[in-house]
Amino acid sequence: MHVPVANRIKVVKCAGEGGGRRMQTLQEKASEWSGVSTTEAFAIDETNLFQKLGLDTFVNLSTNFYTRVFDDEEEWFRTIFASSTKEDAIRNQYEFFVQRMGGPPLFSERRGHPALIGRHRPFPVTQKAAERWLHHMQQALNSTANIDNDSKSKMMNFFRHTAYFLVAGNELKNQGQGGVACKPATA
């Protein structure tokens, strides 16, 4: 299992057994809140999904996803993405997916380190927003050709865990680096 060093050192405080306090990594918080273990989330590393699915599949997935996002009926959700064009959002996402799932480092070559929490820092990454994002991603996965069920399952586990990793990072930011509530905020 690969857990980047930067993700392992970020911690949140939650009550432990007996009323004591213990530190939790953002990965642990993401697992708790998403219901996806780190083992399940990083099962995407067991198979080179880029070699298996190909570049066009990732481009199509991101196109299907952002078509749904930019057409979302909920204005609050659309405004999260208003600072980007649809075309830029598609490119950023598929380049990140290609890189993360075994392909060439397209994203890093063009934009630098992915630094997901930092790149999402300006946005309200709440539980509600994460669930809406995940809804659109599940629909996009289901409507994108050439993605087998095993790959869809592995990708959704990774996406769900990562979405809640970002929620935990957002909570930490909102708490002024002083800790995260043990249950995610709902809005």
In a domain, residue 106? The reply is yes
Q: Which of 145, 33, 53, 67 is nearest to 102 (CA)?
A: 53
Q: The domain containing residue 22 runs over which residues?
A: 5-174
**What's the total number of domains in the chain?**
1
β strands within 11-112, DSSP E? 11-15, 21-25
Q: Which of 34, 35, 25 shows the shortest CA–CA distance to 179?
A: 25
In order along its 187 residues, the chain shows pLDDT tens digits of: 344 433 333 444 444 444 445 557 888 998 999 999 999 999 999 999 999 999 999 999 999 999 999 999 999 999 999 999 999 999 999 999 999 999 999 777 666 566 566 566 766 778 999 999 999 999 999 999 999 999 999 999 999 999 998 898 888 776 764 444 444 444 4
Provide the whole-model pTM.
Answer: 0.78
Nearest to 166 by CA among 180, 152, 155, 148: 180
By DSSP bridging, strand 11-15 and strand 21-25 are: antiparallel
Is 181 domain-assigned? no
- Which CATH number does the domain housing residue 51 bear? 1.10.490.10
Cα 30 to Cα 78, 136, 165, 167: the distances in Å are: 24, 19, 4, 8
35 found inside a domain: yes
* Residue 180 belongs to some domain of the structure: no
> Is 30 a domain residue?
yes
In a domain, 38, yes or no: yes
